[in-house]
Amino acid sequence: MPIVIAVIVLLILVFSLKVVQQQTEWVVERLGKYKKTWGAGLHFLVPVFDRIAKKVTLKEQVLDSPPQPVITKDNVTMQIDTVVYFKVFDAKLFTYGAVNPISALSNLTATTLRNIVGELELDDTLTSRDTINGKMTDILDSATDQWGIKVNRVELKNIIPPAEIQNAMEKQMKAERDRRETLLEAEGHKAAVITRAEGDKQAMILAAEGERDARIARAEGEAKAILLAKQAEADGLAALKSAGVDGAVLELKKYEALVAMSNGKASKIIVPTDAVDMAKSNVMFSETTGIGDVTEPAPAAAKVKKSDPCCD
């Protein structure tokens, strides 16, 4: 008998030893009243008198609420679902603060979302996700302190407007894309025209500059050629003058120039005035002296023998 009692006592002691896991807290009651909260480690539970009221995890949890209808300020009904990230910071408050804290948090999230979105119009709701998330986080975190819950953040997962609103938004986005495409094409065409005009302008400027440089080069070449010709003529005259050439030689040179001019195919010959005077004087000299006259004399006319009537 004592052995049986000893075995029973040993079993009670063994089952009374409890090990609490990390990031977990157990709420212990004694005779129906809160006694203490056990943290991670080994604990002894008094049989019959003590019991485990609730095991609470301290890890961060996620509350994924299903889509729910929300009416905006401009009377548009949308389907919005939320995700709430929270964790329990006080196991005692979480156990005794609400009958079902998770359900209470879900309902509080839905009502808070309706209140916030109800103050916004459709466009503001679609473009103010961060604002809505921040307001909901602040409101839920403040309201759930008495439940031992810390709300870290709230995210709007999906915002689904009615089908007709979606169609109108798609048409609006398509029109906006078409407008941007047309604007980009116009800007591209404008840039191309400006670039082409700039290119044509530069080409005309370069062509004009090239023509100007060519004319300047030709003019400079002609001027240099004329200068060289005049210089050569001057050098020739200076050489003749230094050689003491008399007027006869100069007259001979003029004759040679006239002969050279007459050998060409020109239909007109321009004779200098002094050359004409010289030719006239030479002709008069030739006719007077007979020198230089190469024209053969005309043959003498045959004498006609007259008949003699007395003798014939």
- Pair of tokens at residue 269: 């010959």
The whole-number mean pLDDT for each consecutive block of 10 residues of the chain, a chain of 312 residues, reads 75 81 90 89 86 91 90 88 93 90 92 91 85 92 92 90 79 84 89 89 89 88 85 75 63 63 55 54 51 50 49 46
Write down the pLDDT at residue 167: 81
Residue 127, H or E segment: helix 122-127
| Alpha-carbon gap, residue 224 to 247, rounded angstroms | 32
pLDDT at residue 228, as a whole number: 85
Structure tokens at 151: 């709300």
The separation between CA 242 and the C-alpha centre of its own chain, rounded to angstroms, equals 80
* The pLDDT value given to residue 294: 47
- What pLDDT is stored for residue 236 in this prediction? 72
Q: What is the pLDDT of residue 127?
A: 84
Give pLDDT, residue 140.
Answer: 93
Residues whose CB is less than 8 angstroms from the CB of residue 122 and which lie 6 or more positions away in sequence, other chains included: 72, 74, 76, 78, 161, 165
CATH of span 61-161 = 3.30.479.30
The domain segmentation of the chain, as residue ranges, is 2-57, 61-161
pTM above 0.75, yes or no: no
What is the phi/psi pair of residue 98, to 5°? -145, 155
Using alpha carbons, select from 238, 237, 278, 242 the residue that is nearest to residue 258: 278
